């Protein structure tokens, strides 16, 4: 078995892995190894050929492949080493990785620090719970995206979309452009799961109807999908009898959410957050296992790649600091999701970092709301309050804590983020 020694090993070469590897190298880590099972770098970005990436980071609107290209070039210049077509099979708590590829067989990689950046997988559970036959033509939106944008073929001509996630919305327009008929997008919740801009430019622009409070209750067809039955749902998300409607189609596209890909983390017994499905991390993006970091969609599902990059640079920086013995020590403060907040990342903040640098907290709200404030409090004392005109579960909210904004002595307390209606107090 070939043995490889490196300072930082990064698992997954999507935007998260690329940013972590590049930053680790820039921050002075010696040998940085970037590993991906795919045949090229870029992760999911290579199939996201639409524009809308990077405006916040670069001030220009890039497509997924363009965004990836920038980072691929940067990594190449920095001297990050790359192993493609290589699947990481196991991550051990002592920072040994076992990986495999066709050329060399098994690899034993010993790293000073490990960064997990495996991204996420599409949920397909929706299909499993839909009654009816199991014909061909039921696929996830991301798979369809890869087929159309990278493999160059159309998986169907007459399409119904279940779920209003971004990939589904983007694919509604893509299919329409390629000459297919998209009958509509059916979303079980009373609000969409995708970004508003995607509802506007992908559905409204092409008169594709969005049916909120609707779901698919049956799939018809023997060999191939022939139709689906949709129905309205009540407040408990149960189909309302008598509202069923049969829609002929040859393809049902599922866009019902993403789940962080954490088999490796679970196997290594890294502590996971039950809400995000990803590792519990510090403000250095370090997991519960010392020296093992995580960033990007493997930690929590991001809607903006710019945030993935920012967060992943912290992970790269953290990994470099660790191998150089420059990690911050001292007490940490836990974060907590308060009223109206579903989760907060990171979960632990080093007081030493809080005093020195700006800290960004990412969160998702439970429900859509208008005219609210996001409040951060420590031990009952309000330390920050930011106004938000609109907050929606589909759009991640970020809150910036300026350096030194916390009371000097807050060890043993928690930092709580809550959503407060304008005019009320937390």
Partner 1 sequence: MTKERKLTCIVCPVGCGIKLTYDADRREILSVTGNQCKRGAAYAADEVFAPKRVLTTTVRVEDGFLPVVPVRTAQPIPKEKIWDALKELAALQIKAPVAYHQVICPDVAGTGVAVIAERPLPAETEEKAG
Ligand X SMILES: Cc1cc2nc3c(=O)[nH]c(=O)nc-3n(C[C@H](O)[C@H](O)[C@H](O)COP(=O)(O)OP(=O)(O)OC[C@H]3O[C@@H](n4cnc5c(N)ncnc54)[C@H](O)[C@@H]3O)c2cc1C
Among 304, 344, 372, 397, binds ligand X (CB under 6 A): 304
DSSP state of 327: -
Q: For residue 65, state whether it binds partner 1 (rule: CB under 8 A).
A: yes
What stretch of H or E contains 182? strand 181-186
Work out whether 354 is an interface residue with ligand X (CB under 6 A).
Answer: no
Query: Binding to ligand X by residue 346, rule CB under 6 A?
Result: no
The one among 173, 214, 300, 302 contacting ligand X by CB under 6 A: 302
Question: Contact between 53 and ligand X (CB under 6 A)?
Answer: yes
CB atoms within 10 A of CB 207: 8
Candidates 65-73, 130-138, 339-347, 357-365: pick the segment binding partner 1 (CB under 8 A): 65-73
By beta-carbon distance, which residue lies closest to ligand X? 14
Minimum Å gap between C-beta 149 and partner 1 is 6
Nearer residue to partner 1 within complex by CB, 103 or 425:
103
Which of 344, 331, 333 lies closest to 375 in space, CA to CA?
Answer: 344
Q: Give me the torsion for CA of 157, 158, 162, 163, rounded to 10°.
A: 60
> Length of the chain, please?
426
Helices (H), 113-165: 125-128, 141-146
Q: Does 277 bind ligand X (CB under 6 A)?
A: no
Least distance in angstroms from the C-beta of 46 to partner 1: 7
Contact 123, 257 (CB under 8 A): yes
* Strand partners of residue 226: none
Please give the order of strands across the beta sheet that includes 381-391.
348-350, 332-337, 414-421, 369-378, 381-391
Given a contact cutoff of 8 angstroms between Cβ atoms, the answer to whether 306 and 319 are in contact is no
**Interface characters, 174-213, with ligand X (x: CB under 6 A):** ----------------------------------------
Q: Assess 303 for contact with partner 1 (CB under 8 A).
A: yes
Which among partner 1, ligand X, none contacts residue 318 (Cβ within 5 to 8 A by kind)? none
Q: Out of 242, 389, 408, 423, which residue is the one contacting partner 1 (CB under 8 A)?
A: 389
Partner that binds at residue 346, options partner 1, ligand X, none, CB closer than 5 to 8 Å by kind: none
The C-alpha atoms of residue 215 and residue 191 are separated, in whole angstroms, by 13
The one of partner 1, ligand X, none whose footprint includes residue 197, by CB under 5 to 8 A per kind, is: partner 1
Give the footprint of ligand X on residues 235-274 (CB under 6 A). Answer: 261, 264
48, 172, 233, 285: which one binds ligand X (CB under 6 A): 48
C-alpha 35/C-alpha 49 separation (Å) is 23
Expressed in percent and rounded to 5, the helix, strand and coil fractions of the chain are 25, 35, 40
User: Quick one: which of 296, 318, 338, 346 contacts ligand X (CB under 6 A)?
Assistant: 296
Are the CB atoms for 227 and 220 separated by under 8 Å? yes
Among 26, 30, 31, 69, binds partner 1 (CB under 8 A): 69
Binder of residue 56, out of ligand X, partner 1, none (CB less than 5 to 8 A by kind): partner 1
- As beta bridge partners, residue 88 has 99
Residue 230 host element (H or E): strand 227-232
Partner in contact with 302, chosen from partner 1, ligand X, none, beta carbon below 5 to 8 Å by kind: ligand X
Residues 393, 18: Cα–Cα separation, whole Å: 27
Choices 11-19, 127-135, 149-157, 240-248 (CB under 6 A): range interacting with ligand X: 11-19
Q: Give the nearest distance from C-beta 228 to ligand X in angstroms.
A: 22
> Do 345 and 417 contact (CB within 8 A), yes or no?
no
Start-to-end CA distance of the chain, whole Å, equals 58
Cα 377 to Cα 55, 206, 250, 307, 415: the distances in Å are 31, 45, 52, 23, 6
**Which positions from 116 through 175 interact with partner 1, judged by CB under 8 A?**
148-152
Q: Using the rule CB under 6 A, give the single segment among 43-51, 223-231, 266-274, 404-412 that binds ligand X.
A: 43-51
Taking CB under 6 A as the binding criterion, the range among 21-29, 222-230, 301-309, 339-347 that sits at the site for ligand X is: 301-309
β-pair type (210-211, 181-186): parallel
Burial group, residue 407, by CB count within 10 angstroms (0-12, 13-18, 19+): exposed
Site for partner 1 in 177-206 (CB under 8 A): 177, 195-197, 199-201, 205
Tokens 């991001």 correspond to 302
- Which positions lie near partner 1, rule CB under 8 A? 39, 46, 49-52, 55-56, 61, 63-66, 68-69, 84-86, 101-103, 148-152, 177, 195-197, 199-201, 205, 303-304, 389-390, 395
- Which positions lie near ligand X, rule CB under 6 A? 11-17, 35-38, 43-45, 48, 52-53, 87-88, 117-119, 142, 145, 166-167, 170, 261, 264, 296-298, 302-306, 308
């Amino acid at each position: 078995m070939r043995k490889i020694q490196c300072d930082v090993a990064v698992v997954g070469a999507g935007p998260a892995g690329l940013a972590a590897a590049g930053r680790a190298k820039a921050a002075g880590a010696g040998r940085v190894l970037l590993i991906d099972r795919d045949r090229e770098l870029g992760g999911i970005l290579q199939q996201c050929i639409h524009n809308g990436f990077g405006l916040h980071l670069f001030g220009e609107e890039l497509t997924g492949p363009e965004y990836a290209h920038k980072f691929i070039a940067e990594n190449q210049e920095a001297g990050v080493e790359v192993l493609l077509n290589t699947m990481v099979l196991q991550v051990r708590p002592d920072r040994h990785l076992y990986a495999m590829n066709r050329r060399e067989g098994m690899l034993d990689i010993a790293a000073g620090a490990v960064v997990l950046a495996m991204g996420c997988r599409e949920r397909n559970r929706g299909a499993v719970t839909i009654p009816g036959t199991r014909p061909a033509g039921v696929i996830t939106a991301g798979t369809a995206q890869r087929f159309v944008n990278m493999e160059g073929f159309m998986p169907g001509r007459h399409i119904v979309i279940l779920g209003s996630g971004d990939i589904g919305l983007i694919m509604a327009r893509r299919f329409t452009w390629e000459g297919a008929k998209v009958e509509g997008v059916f979303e079980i919740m009373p609000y969409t799961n995708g970004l508003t801009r995607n509802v506007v430019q992908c559905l409204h622009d092409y008169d594709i109807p969005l049916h909120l409070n609707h779901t698919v209750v049956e799939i018809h067809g023997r060999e191939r999908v022939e139709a689906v039955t949709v129905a309205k749902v009540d407040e408990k998300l149960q189909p309302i009898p008598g509202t069923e409607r049969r829609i002929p189609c040859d393809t049902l596209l599922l866009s019902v959410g993403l789940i962080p890909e954490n088999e490796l983390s679970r196997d290594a017994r890294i502590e996971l957050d039950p809400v995000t499905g990803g590792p519990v991390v510090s403000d250095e993006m370090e997991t519960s296992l010392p020296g093992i970091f995580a960033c990007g969609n493997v930690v929590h599902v991001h809607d903006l790649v710019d945030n993935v990059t920012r967060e992943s640079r912290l992970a790269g920086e953290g990994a470099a600091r660790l191998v150089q013995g420059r990690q911050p020590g001292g007490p940490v403060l836990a974060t907590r999701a308060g009223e109206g907040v579903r989760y907060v990342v990171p979960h632990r903040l080093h007081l030493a970092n809080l005093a020195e640098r700006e800290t960004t907290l990412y969160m998702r709200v439970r429900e859509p709301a208008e005219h609210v404030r996001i409040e951060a409090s420590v031990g009952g004392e309000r330390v920050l309050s930011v106004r938000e005109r609109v907050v929606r579960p589909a759009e991640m909210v970020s809150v910036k804590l300026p350096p030194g904004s916390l009371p000097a002595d807050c060890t043993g307390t928690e930092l709580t983020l809550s959503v407060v209606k304008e005019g009320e107090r937390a």
